[in-house]
Amino acid sequence: MSASIHDTARAGHGGGEDHAHHPSGIMRWVMTTNHKDIGTMYLCFSFAMFLVGGLMAFIIRTELFQPGLQFVAPDFFNQMTTLHGLIMVFGAIMPAFVGFANWQIPMMIGAPDMAFPRMNNWSFWLLPPAALLLVISLFVPGGGPAAGWTMYVPLATQMGPGMDFSIFAVHILGMSSIMGSINIITTILNLRAPGMTMMKLPMFCWTWLITAYLLLAVMPVLAGAVTMILTDRHFGTSFFNAAGGGDPVLYQHIFWFFGHPEVYIIAIPAFGVISQVIPAFSRKPLFGYTAMVYATASIAILSFIVWAHHMYTAGMPVTGQVYFMYATMLIAVPTGVKVFNWVATMWKGSLTFETPMLFAVGFLFMFTMGGFSGLVLSMAAVDVQVHDTYYVVAHFHYVMVAGALFSAFAGVYFWLPKWTGRMYDETLGKWHFWLSMVFFNMTFFVQHFLGLAGMPRRVPDYALQFADFNMISSIGSMGFGVSQVLLPYIVYKAVRHGAKAPQRPWDGADTLEWTHLPAPAPYHSFETPPVVK
Partner 1 sequence: MTRSQPWYFLPGPAPWPVIGSTALFLMAGGAAMWFNGVSSGPWTVLAGVLIMVYMMVRWFGQVIDESEGGLYSRRVDLSFRWGMSWFIFSEVMFFAAFFGALFYARVLAVPDLGDLEQKLLWPDFSASWPTAGPIAADPFTPMAAWGIPALNTLLLLSSGVTLTIAHWGLLQDRRGALNLWLLLTILLGATFLGFQMYEYGHAYSELNLKLSSGIYGSTFFMLTGFHGFHVTVGCIMLTTIWIRCLSGHFKPDHHFAFEGVAWYWHFVDVVWLLLFIFVYWI
Q: Identify residues 207-266 at the interface with ligand HEM (CB under 6 A).
A: 263, 266
Residue from 362, 403, 411, 429 that binds ligand HEM (CB under 6 A)? Answer: 403
Active site residue 525: no
User: Segment 326-385, which members bind partner 1 (CB under 8 A)?
Assistant: none
DSSP annotation string for 79-103: HHHHHHHHIIIIIIIHHHHHHHHHH
* Contacts to ligand HEM from residues 352-371, by CB under 6 A: 371
| Residue 374 makes contact with ligand HEM by CB under 6 A | yes
Distance of CA 321 to the CA centre of its chain: 28
Which position among 171, 260, 284, 432 bears the catalytic label?
260
Cα 499 from chain centre:
30
Active site residue 387: no
**Catalytic-role residue among 18, 113, 164, 425:** 113
Helix ranges (H only) for 248-389 are 248-282, 289-302, 318-346, 355-378, 380-386
Q: Rule CB under 8 A: choose which of 67, 148, 154, 246 binds partner 1.
A: 246
Q: Is residue 75 annotated as a catalytic residue, yes or no?
A: no
Distance CA 380, CA 365 (A): 25
Tell me if residue 24 is catalytic: no
Please give the angle made by the CA atoms of 183, 179 and 192, to the nearest 5 degrees: 5
Task: Let me know if 338 is a catalytic residue.
Answer: yes
Give the one residue of 404, 455, 517, 519 binding ligand HEM; rule: CB under 6 A: 404
Among 123, 335, 470, 484, binds ligand HEM (CB under 6 A): 335
Under rule CB under 6 A, residue 375 binds ligand HEM: yes
Contact pattern for partner 1 over residues 152 through 181, marking x by CB under 8 A? --------xx--xx-xxx-xx--x--x--x
| 87 interacts with, out of Cu ion, partner 1, ligand HEM, none, CB within 5 to 8 A per kind | none
Q: Where are the alpha helices (DSSP H) in 191-238?
A: 203-234
Q: Which of 33, 62, 66, 150 binds ligand HEM (CB under 6 A)?
A: 150
Q: Contacting Cu ion (CB under 5 A), which of 260, 284, 432, 504? A: 260
- By CB under 6 A, tell whether 281 contacts ligand HEM: no
- Say whether the peptide bond before residue 129 is cis (omega within 30 degrees of 0): no
Q: Which of 36, 171, 192, 310 is catalytic?
A: 310
From the list 51-59, 200-208, 258-266, 416-424, the region that binds Cu ion by CB under 5 A is 258-266
Whether 395 sits among the annotated catalytic residues: the reply is no
The one-letter amino acid code at 34 reads N
CB 64 → ligand HEM: shortest distance, Å?
Answer: 17
Closer to ligand HEM by CB, 286 or 401: give it: 401
Angle formed at CA 60 by CA 233 and CA 222, multiple of 5 degrees: 35
- Rounded Cα distance, 168 and 290, in Å: 41
Candidates 119, 175, 332, 428: give the one binding ligand HEM (CB under 6 A): 332
Q: Give first-to-last CA distance, the chain, whole Å.
A: 37
Q: What are the residues facing 500 on neighbouring strands? A: 422
Q: In the annotation, is 149 catalytic?
A: yes
**237 touches partner 1 by CB under 8 A:** yes
* Catalytic residue (one of 177, 303, 328, 483): 177
Active site residue 4: no
Which CB sits closer to ligand HEM, 205 or 369?
A: 369
Q: Is 113 a catalytic residue?
A: yes
In angstroms, give the least distance from the CB of 318 to ligand HEM: 16
Judge whether 409 and 432 are in contact, CB under 8 Å. yes
Q: What is the 3-state secondary structure (H, E, C) of 417-461?
A: HHHHCECCCHHHHHHHHHHHHHHHHHHHHHHHHHHHCCCECCCCC
For the question of residue 2 being annotated catalytic, the response is: no
- Amino acid at residue number 371: G
Binding track, positions 81-100, relative to ligand HEM; x by CB under 6 A: --------------------
C-beta of residue 410 within 8 angstroms of C-beta of residue 273: yes
DSSP 291-316: HHHHHHHHHHHHGGG-GGGG-GGGT-
Q: How far from chain centre, in Å, is Cα 442?
A: 22
CA gap 114, 190 in Å, rounded: 10
Among 233, 310, 432, 504, binds ligand HEM (CB under 6 A): 310
| Of positions 68, 244, 336, 488, contacts partner 1 by CB under 8 A | 244
Neighbours of 507 (CB within 10 A): 13
Asked if 41 touches ligand HEM (CB under 6 A), the answer is: no
Whether 309 is catalytic: yes
Distance in angstroms (rounded) separating the CA atoms of residues 79 and 385 = 26
What is the distance of C-alpha 465 from the center of its chain?
A: 34
Peptide bond preceding 279 in cis form (omega within 30 of 0)? no
Which residues between 12 and 51 bind partner 1 (CB under 8 A)?
13, 17-18, 21-23, 27-28, 30-33
- Would you call 348 a catalytic residue per the annotation? no
Question: Residue 340's CB: how many other CB atoms inside 10 A?
Answer: 14
Looking at residues 456 to 485 of the shown chain, list those that interact with partner 1 (rule: CB under 8 A): none
- Is the Cβ–Cβ distance between 31 and 23 less than 8 Å? yes
Q: Tell me which DSSP letter residue 239 carries.
A: T
Q: Which residues bind Cu ion (CB under 5 A)?
A: 260
Active site residues per annotation? 84, 113, 149, 176-177, 260, 262, 264, 275, 309-310, 335, 338, 457
Q: Which residues bind ligand HEM (CB under 6 A)?
A: 150, 263, 266-267, 309-310, 328, 331-332, 335, 371, 374-375, 377-378, 383, 387, 392, 395-396, 399-400, 403-404
